Amino acid sequence: GQQLNQSPQSMFIQEGEDVSMNCTSSSIFNTWLWYKQEPGEGPVLLIALYKAGELTSNGRLTAQFGITRKDSFLNISASIPSDVGIYFCAGQGSPSGGGADGLTFGKGTHLIIQP
Amino acid sequence: NAGVTQTPKFRILKIGQSMTLQCTQDMNHNYMYWYRQDPGMGLKLIYYSVGAGITDKGEVPNGYNVSRSTTEDFPLRLELAAPSQTSVYFCASSYFEILSPLHFGNGTRLTVT
């Protein structure tokens, strides 16, 4: 199956620092999504990107859909303790995907914030 | 709206036992999905459904069965539980396939011993 390479796997940062994570793929996608998962809960959508080159912000979060449609990044500015969690990228609608679900997930970036 | 609701939250099974993981959504979404999440891994699709009466296999369907008799419900059945099925299971739904992000339930943590 398709794979998304998400990096870094984990990040230990100080409160107030900026965070950057990214996903790359060998396949192109029509949509890139970024989810956050907190302990004991399901993933929650943060940002959805629908066009190559699109740059979208949601508060302190900014994400971009790469021009090649094979990558995306997520930035978090001025991190705060509640940003702790696991962040997943997901690509949707790949031409090489099968079935109704063109959703492929990265393995996640575990964000840990030290006060 | 409650969104996507999964039950139970936790379950321990012995090898060979069977169980059904329940999932219901109240958003009138057409598409429903079952994923499993293993430590350090992303979510892998088990089964999905594009509407009542229609189901199809995902990436890792072996050992599981599903049914979709109504728009709201999409139960996942394990007939002969195996240790390899120890995982966290997430149900999700979406309105359309494309350009419609998934809404996830809070998961069922299953341990098979």
Closest CA to A58 of A83, A91, A31, A22: A83
Q: Which pLDDT score, from 0 to 100, does residue B101 have?
A: 77
- Which of B45, B60, B87 to probe by mutation at the A interface, max A CB count within 10 Å? B45
Q: Which pLDDT score, from 0 to 100, does residue A104 have?
A: 86
Q: Do B42 and A88 touch (CB under 8 A)?
A: yes
Flag whether pLDDT at A99 surpasses 50. Answer: no
Q: How many CB pairs under 8 A join A and B?
A: 67
Q: Are A76 and A29 in contact (CB under 8 A)?
A: no
Q: Which residues of chain A make contact with B44, given a CB cutoff of 8 A?
A: 105
- Residue entry with tokens 């063109």: A102
Flag whether pLDDT at A100 surpasses 60. Answer: no
Q: Are B35 and B45 in contact (CB under 8 A)?
A: yes
Could you tell me the CA-to-CA distances from B58 to A76, B10, B34, B47, B99 in Å, in that order? Answer: 32, 23, 9, 5, 19
Flag whether pLDDT at B48 surpasses 70. Answer: yes
Q: How confident is the model at residue A75 (pLDDT cuts 50, 70, 90)?
A: very high
Strands B87-94 and B76-78, bridge-based pairing: unpaired
Flag whether pLDDT at B96 surpasses 80. Answer: no
What distance in Å separates the CA atoms of residue B91 and residue B21, rounded to the nearest whole number?
Answer: 9
Q: How confident is the model at residue B97 (pLDDT cuts 50, 70, 90)?
A: low
